[in-house]
Amino acid sequence: MAGSELTNVRSPRVKAARRLTKRAFREQDRKFLAEGPQAVREALRLDGVTLELFATAEAEQRHPEIVAEAAGRGLPVHRVSGEVMAELSQTVTPQGLLAVCGLVHVPLEDALPAAPRLVAVLAHVRDPGNAGTVLRTADAAGADAVVFTDASVDPYNGKCVRASAGSLFHLPVVIGAPVSAAVRHLRERGLRVLAADGAGKHTLDDVDLSGPTAWIFGNEAWGLPEEVLAEADDVVRVPIYGQAESLNLATAAAVCLYSSARAQRLS
């Protein structure tokens, strides 16, 4: 790693990266932060996404292959003190690696392959940890894309990026689409649109999930509003066989997405 260690938390370079913890500056600069070895490793797999890397000496020793990959691509790589990394990090215990990345989302019209099979739509989802976990689950279930509607959390929120565990860089992500526009487009592309909601008339046991499906997942506390439920082709709930009142958003999304993925692979 070239150059001396960066120790001044007020340096222009540190301040330029630190401002990306705010959504307004991320949108203005068209950049975001990816923190931790998993996120940085996956970001580096995409050409042109990673713009620069900050690493502590300890992280360089633990993950020399990541630092070498960044340097080999000609990216600016800055060795920083623990104090500087703490200033940049959004975690209590920084892992010592942080990349500045260019935004990776795509327009709704460009997100889907020729014959999409599975899409996750986040409508009014506000918790970044839940949103990132759903993104990670959609990736694991083989989804073609994830749509963050205009009333949902920013997928570039630091907590969301970390919770996605690199999946943000694996599949097309759409942000800011109105629910009605997203549903219309998905339906035009041949997807049946199902809303996951505890008040659904049907359960997962009752519906045929073998065809192309888009799932809409709602807010952690109050679910999906009536106008969104009305947009869907059907409203489906996860059956509760025990005495639990309900499932949290991320768990319900995992059950729905994997139910579709399994049904599609068995058909």
pLDDT tens per residue across span 3-55: 578 999 999 999 999 999 999 999 999 999 999 999 999 999 999 999 999 99
Residue with tokens 């007020």: 10
Q: What is the mean pLDDT of residues 197-221?
A: 92
Choices 3.30.70.1150, 2.115.10.20, 3.30.1330.30, 3.10.250.10: CATH for 12-102:
3.30.1330.30
Q: Which residues contact 259 (CB under 8 A, 6 or more apart)?
A: 204, 209
pLDDT at residue 1, rounded to an integer: 53
pLDDT at residue 246, rounded to an integer: 85
From 161, 174, 152, select the one nearest 98 (Cα to Cα): 161
User: Could you tell me which residue, 4 or 107, shows the higher pLDDT?
Assistant: 107
From 161, 7, 159, select the one nearest 86 (Cα to Cα): 7
pLDDT at residue 3, rounded to an integer: 57
CATH homologous superfamily of 108-266: SPOUT methyltransferase, trefoil knot domain (3.40.1280.10)
Q: What is the mean pLDDT of residues 111-131?
A: 96
The answer to whether 210 and 248 are in contact (CB under 8 A) is no
* Mean pLDDT over the full length of the chain: 95
Give the span between the Cα atoms of 246 and 108, in whole angstroms: 32
Residues of the chain with CATH 3.30.1330.30: 12-102
Q: How far apart are the first and last CA of the chain?
A: 52
User: What pTM, to 2 d.p., does this model score?
Assistant: 0.93
Task: Report in angstroms the alpha-carbon separations of 214 from 118, 121, 161.
Answer: 6, 7, 22
> Which amino acid, residue 54?
F
pLDDT at residue 113, rounded to an integer: 96
Residues of the chain with CATH 3.40.1280.10: 108-266
pLDDT at residue 165, rounded to an integer: 95
